[in-house]
Amino acid sequence: MSKSPKGGAPRTRNAQSKKGGARKDNGPKRGFSAKRDTRDNRDQREARNPRDTRGGKKDSAAATRPNRRDQTRSAPATTVVEPIVREHKPTSARFTTPASVLPVMVEMNGWDDYALLDMGHGQKLERYGRYKLIRPEAQAMGAPRLPESEWKSADAIFTGDVEEEGPGRWKFANQVDEIWQMKYGPATFNGQFMSFRHVGVFPEQAAHWDWVGEQIKKADRPLKVLNLFGYTGMASLLPAALGAQVTHVDASKKAIVWARENQELSGLEDKPIRWICDDAMKFVEREVRRGNTYDGIILDPPKYGRGPNGEVWDFFESVPHMLACVRKLLSPNAQFLLMSSYAIRASFLSSHELMRECLDGLPGTIESGELAIRELDGPRLLSTSLFSRWSAPENNKAEGA
């Protein structure tokens, strides 16, 4: 068993409940995001005409008001709807640079502490360190290939909402540690059972971590790297271990604390990582005004989210402006830009064209496609996300950046 992050006694979960005793199952609790917004009803109430229609003396105006049946009904007044005006960005008509490569299928084959064991019937069986977990997976539409006994040997199963961020609960078949450690390369990180099916790492991103590492090595110089929506810090720790100076931004204080614990576990406390709890959009806008630039930028935005002060993030509404700002943050000798997307309604072609527009005129190459996990000892792939990524040419003369 592992110790808690604060150095206390080891914490465990067992098959009955979090505290070890039986309890009544009242179903999943409603999260803060599920609170009802009654503002529309309030506005409707305020819009009503507060007339007294239940007796009493009417005012003189009401007494002389003509009967509505005798009036000729006029056409309703037209409402002028102001169009949403967005900046028109002049671009070269042919998008001659950067070059385009698509579609690209990037596979992640697992590593010592992670494997996709099987999938099917809307679920996936995975190994995280020493534990086998079952989690919902809408894209696992086929049938499982392993025998049922393998699935029954899982240590924990997540039940509840099938949406990626839907609430639910973990059920434990065996006694497990509340927090356990895993490794990837020079980074050690905590796994933890969270209320939204996650355990603190998106393992498919290992393929992108490796690609970022290749770009840093190719540059052969210290790079300034910005990691937006940095979560628990794997995409910050690994570049820092290669000598990059990293700025990590996430709107969640808990995620920042978790990432710093991972830094300590990895023995990378001496590496230059700046941890910032802030709304990603506000941060990049301030960086543009300050004139700061970066040699590499990583974005892993959610479909929907809120900043620390209630700022709303919507992928389809926010990404165009975000990428326009990010373009201004690329240094004259920038090496790479990586954006992944879990917004399933999108297409890698959509993000590809948006990135081409934002990086119009830069040398180098944009690749776009899907990121997938390969089954352990199996022929199947599980699609997890979409991505677009730009890399500088070999000579790295990014003029016009």
Query: Is the pLDDT at 399 greater than 70, yes or no?
Result: no
Write out the DSSP string of 76-96. Answer: PPP-PPPPPP-------TT--
% of the chain residues with pLDDT over 90 = 63
Query: Is the pLDDT at 156 greater than 70, yes or no?
Result: yes
What is the DSSP secondary structure assignment for residue 391, as one 8-state letter?
E
Average pLDDT over residues 268-290: 97
% of the chain residues with pLDDT over 70 = 72
Write out the two tokens for 174. 């065996």
Distance CA 307, CA 31 (A): 16
Cβ-in-10-Å burial (0-12, 13-18, 19+) of 193 comes to buried
Distance CA 333, CA 224 (A): 11
Q: In sequence order, what E strands does 257-358 have? A: 273-277, 296-299, 304-306, 312-314, 336-341
Residue-level pLDDT at 39: 36
Of residues 259, 249, 226, the one with CA closest to residue 338: 226
Query: Is the pLDDT at 62 greater than 80, yes or no?
Result: no
- Alpha carbon 307 to its chain centroid, in Å, reads 13
Beta bridge partners of 248: 227, 275
Residue-level pLDDT at 237: 98
Write out the two tokens for 229. 């929506």
β pairing state of 365-374 and 381-391: antiparallel
If pLDDT is split at 50, 70 and 90, which confidence band does 347 have? confident
Cβ-in-10-Å burial (0-12, 13-18, 19+) of 342 comes to middle
For the CA atoms of the chain, what is the radius of gyration? 26
Query: Is the pLDDT at 8 greater than 80, yes or no?
Result: no
Residue-level pLDDT at 114: 98
Q: Which residue has the higher pLDDT, 220 or 133?
A: 133
Span between the terminal Cα atoms of the chain, in Å: 50
Distance CA 393, CA 372 (A): 26
Which range has the worst mean pLDDT, 81-85, 114-118, 123-127, 391-395?
A: 81-85
Q: Which residue has the higher pLDDT, 379 or 43?
A: 379
Q: What is the mean pLDDT of the chain?
A: 81
Residue-level pLDDT at 400: 42
Query: Is the pLDDT at 244 greater than 50, yes or no?
Result: yes
The model's pTM: 0.76
Contact between residue 216 and residue 210 where contact means Cβ atoms under 8 Å apart: no
Q: How many residues are there in the chain?
A: 401
In tens, the pLDDT along 286-338 reads 999 999 999 999 999 988 888 778 888 888 899 999 999 999 999 999 999 99
Contact between residue 182 and residue 114 where contact means Cβ atoms under 8 Å apart: yes
Residue-level pLDDT at 12: 63
Distance CA 307, CA 322 (A): 14
Residue-level pLDDT at 90: 56
In tens, the pLDDT along 195-217 reads 888 999 999 999 999 999 999 99
Tokens 């992944």 found at: 340
In tens, the pLDDT along 85-105 reads 455 555 554 556 799 999 999
In tens, the pLDDT along 17-26 reads 444 444 444 4
Write out the two tokens for 349. 């072609």
In tens, the pLDDT along 159-194 reads 875 555 555 789 999 999 999 999 999 999 999 998
Q: What is the dihedral of CA 17, 18, 19, 21, to 10 degrees?
A: 0
Neighbours of 318 (CB within 10 A): 17
Task: Give me the domains of the chain, ranges plus CATH numbers.
Answer: 99-110+202-391 (3.40.50.150)
